[in-house]
Structure 1
Amino acid sequence: MIDFWGPVANWGLPLAALGDFATKDPEFISGPMTCALIIYSSVFMRFAWRVQPRNMLLLACHATNFSAQNLQLVRFVNHNYLKKE
């Protein structure tokens, strides 16, 4: 049963990031946490690809999270460093 619920629960990270992208103000984005999640997803994408048999569900989850966190990082940089007042 863990083999199913672990990956399903892991989808909470990218879904939360995508939800924040649609509804939250970029003022609340944590730059260090976003960078940590990008690194975390990069490591686990590599793991999911290298393990035999390949874990495509885990790879898809972390690829989605990697993309969503990069979008959040762009929002963070635009808001904190590039925004003209």
Structure 2
Amino acid sequence: MSSTQSTFKKALRYMCTTHFWGPVSNFGIPVAAVMDLNKDPELISGPMTGSLILYSLVFMRYSLAVTPKNYLLFGCHFVNEVAQLGQGYRWLRYHYDGKEQKAVEAAK
């Protein structure tokens, strides 16, 4: 058996595990979060964003604690962490920094 066939079999075996499909199916969360970065900040849920920030931190840690390390899971949650932090920043800015602007707009 050649080295290429052996590598292919290892890749195929890996692709048939939850170590692969778990992170792949989970990538919908960070994709949605990145796409939501363009939406109105009024639609952002502060508690949900906070929960997703903690969730991704926990699973980033978990992905490196398991054997073998699951770098695909880490990448998925790293992207989600960055996107959720962006959403959290937008939520904080809208609800706390934007109060003066809201009062001016409401007075018009």
Matched, 1:41 2:56: yes
Cα distance, 1:2 vs. partner?
A: 5.5
Larger radius of gyration: 2
TM-score norm. by structure 1 comes to: 0.92
After the TM superposition, which segments of 4 or more aligned residues of structure 1 sit over 6 Å from their partners?
A: none
Flag structure 2 segments of 5+ consecutive residues without an equivalent: 1-15, 102-108
1:3-60, Cα deviation, whole Å (9 max, x unpaired): 24322110011100000002x1000000000000000000000000111100000000
Higher relative contact order (CA 8 A, sep 6+): 1
Alignment of 1:1-85 (within 5 A): 1=16, 3=18, 4-22=20-38, 24-83=39-98, 84-85=100-101
Count of residues in Structure 1 that have an aligned counterpart in Structure 2 = 84
Query: Which runs of 5 or more residues in structure 1 are unaligned?
Result: none
Identity %: 50
Question: Cα RMSD between the aligned structures?
Answer: 1.1
